[in-house]
Amino acid sequence: MPRLESTTRMQALMAEAFRECDAAAWDPGRRVAWCSSVGPVELLRALGFAIFFPENHAAMLGASRAATDLIPAASAEGYSPDVCSYMTSDIGAFRRGVTALSRVDPSITAVPRPDVLVYDTNQCRDVLDWFSFYGRQWGAPVIGVSAPRGVGEVTGDLVASVAAQIRGLVQPLESIAGRRLDAGRLREAVAVSRDTSILWRRVLSTGEARPSPLTFFDACVHMGPAVVLRGDPRSAAYYEGLLAELEGRVARGEAAVAGERVRLYWEGMPIWGRLRDVSDLLARLGACVAGSTYCSSWVFDALDPDAPFDSMARAALELFITRTDAVKERILAAEARRYSVHGIVFHDAKTCPNNSNCRYGMPGRLAAGPGVPSVVVHSDLNDLRLHADEGVRLALEAFVEQCAEASP
Ligand code: SF4
């Protein structure tokens, strides 16, 4: 299948966003906020910050295969090679004076210096350690939300508690931004995020079609605007175009994987440095990864412009990564049905226990309960020293054949 025509537009949009952020960092009249990927972006947009997402930067280091060589620079400073390789490759890049942004635009020579770093620990503690490194480097405040993890039911009390923490960020952010929060602008930012989320969900849902018009690997690339431009109207406009292209493929019966014979679901982080290789391997086997928990993590059903703080809190609490195993199993069983998959590929990412859900018996419970088979691949998001091509290839080949044989 030829690459999606929208790809060129997406790359131009991402480059534009990176240039704007770089320009803001050099402009004494602008303020730059770093934000964790599912932090309170809408609040930052409403206050006029240029926003930089270190996790996106780290993924770019991984995808360009630069990450592995950068990690030792962070290890030399005491960051264990066992902790988040997004964090260690990003810190390593900083120590070596390089940035993945230069590959997009050579005129960008450094990550934008932050005036404030805003985190949400709903995903892990590593983001706080990561942001604290930069806070110390630049003497910038590090503020955020300490959210609960292992969330079962998202109760009103939990929502109120997290919403109060987000409200507590307003005053310090106002003083850094040099302006008061405008309720209308916050409402608008939440509305745009919600619209983007709805469109992104519809993009991902095209994967339910048989054959699927896109794969998890395509979605990993095209999720860029949902991450970097959340709350910015350009992201919604981009996904309208992408959705139209994918719906055209579905209408014409065009498959992302020629001769699709096995359908899979990806659980966990991408292997950024081998994204193309794993995609090509599965395509050769006639296997399409039609859906994933990772790309669905930027679908925020709860966002409501009429209740911005409560709905931002609820959206953060409902995230897959924050939930108990019991809730995750229910979600995975439902996703397996929704995408009509033969099985699940669990990625055991060695440096991200937070997003590796295969370590406490979940694959066995999904097989014994809802009857969803799975395979575990052992690798990492960014550290290719923890990846073995042969091991991943053999595991996936065997699993695809097992799924094909089990097909009616
Ligand atoms: S969730 Fe995993 S990959 Fe993301 S910042 Fe935390 S440890 Fe790193």
pLDDT in tens, 67-85: 999 999 999 999 999 999 9
Q: Could you identify the atom of ligand 1 that is nearest to the CA of residue 127?
A: 5
pLDDT string in tens for the chain (408-residue length): 678 999 999 999 999 999 999 999 999 999 999 999 889 999 999 999 999 999 999 999 999 999 999 999 999 999 999 999 999 999 999 999 999 999 999 999 999 999 999 999 999 999 999 999 999 999 999 999 999 999 999 999 999 999 999 999 999 999 999 999 999 999 999 999 999 999 999 999 999 999 999 999 999 999 999 999 999 999 999 999 999 999 999 999 999 999 999 999 999 999 999 999 999 999 999 999 999 999 999 999 899 999 999 999 999 999 999 999 999 999 999 999 999 999 999 999 999 999 999 999 999 999 999 999 999 999 999 999 999 999 999 999 999 999 999 876
> Token digits for 190?
């939440």
For residue 3, give the H/E element and its range.
Answer: none
- Pocket test residue of 80, 122, 127 for ligand 1, highest count of atoms within 8 A of CB: 127
CA 233, CA 338: separation in Å to the nearest integer?
Answer: 29
Q: Residue 261: what pLDDT?
A: 96
Report the separation in Å between the CA atom of 287 and the middle of ligand 1, taken as the mean of its atom positions. 28
Q: Which protein residue has the closest C-alpha to ligand 1 atom 6?
A: 124
Report the separation in Å between the CA atom of 333 and the middle of ligand 1, taken as the mean of its atom positions. 24
Q: Which protein residue has the closest C-alpha to ligand 1 atom 8?
A: 84
Length of the chain (residues): 408
CA 15, CA 122: separation in Å to the nearest integer?
Answer: 29
Ramachandran area for residue 112 (φ above 0: left; ψ -120 to 50: alpha; else beta): beta
Report the separation in Å between the CA atom of 86 and the middle of ligand 1, taken as the mean of its atom positions. 7
Report the separation in Å between the CA atom of 109 and the middle of ligand 1, taken as the mean of its atom positions. 25
Q: Could you identify the atom of ligand 1 that is nearest to the CA of residue 36?
A: 5
> Token digits for 186?
């916050």
Q: Phi/psi at 365 (nearest 5 deg)?
A: -70, -35
Q: Phi/psi at 287 (nearest 5 deg)?
A: -110, 130
Site of tokens 């703080």: 309
For residue 318, give the H/E element and its range.
Answer: none
> Token digits for 47?
């206050």
Residues within a 6 A CB radius of ligand 1: 55, 84, 86-87, 123-124, 126-127, 269, 352, 354-355, 381
Site of tokens 């930052």: 44
CA 83, CA 307: separation in Å to the nearest integer?
Answer: 36
Report the separation in Å between the CA atom of 210 and the middle of ligand 1, taken as the mean of its atom positions. 32
Q: 287-292 and 262-267: which strand pairing?
A: parallel
Q: Could you identify the atom of ligand 1 that is nearest to the CA of residue 321?
A: 1
What is the full DSSP assignment across 64-102?
A: TT-HHHHHHHHHTTT--TTS-HHHHHHHHHHHHT--THH
Assess contact for 350 and 272: CB atoms under 8 A: no
- Pocket test residue of 34, 126, 267 for ligand 1, highest count of atoms within 8 A of CB: 126
HSE toward the beta carbon, residue 16, CA cutoff 13 A: 12
Q: Give the pLDDT confidence of 353-369 residue by residue, as tens digits.
A: 999 999 999 999 999 99
Report the separation in Å between the CA atom of 127 and the middle of ligand 1, taken as the mean of its atom positions. 7
Assess contact for 272 and 382: CB atoms under 8 A: yes
Q: Could you identify the atom of ligand 1 that is nearest to the CA of residue 381?
A: 3
Q: In the β-sheet with 287-292, what is the strand arrangement from edge to edge?
A: 287-292, 262-267, 343-349, 374-379
> Token digits for 234?
């350009």
For residue 33, give the H/E element and its range.
Answer: strand 32-35
Helix axis angle, 275-284 relative to 389-406, nearest 10°? 30
- Pocket test residue of 354, 359, 383 for ligand 1, highest count of atoms within 8 A of CB: 354
Report the separation in Å between the CA atom of 4 and the middle of ligand 1, taken as the mean of its atom positions. 29
Q: Give the pLDDT confidence of 366-405 residue by residue, as tens digits.
A: 999 999 999 999 999 999 999 999 999 999 999 999 999 9
Q: Which protein residue has the closest C-alpha to ligand 1 atom 2?
A: 352
Q: Residue 408: what pLDDT?
A: 64
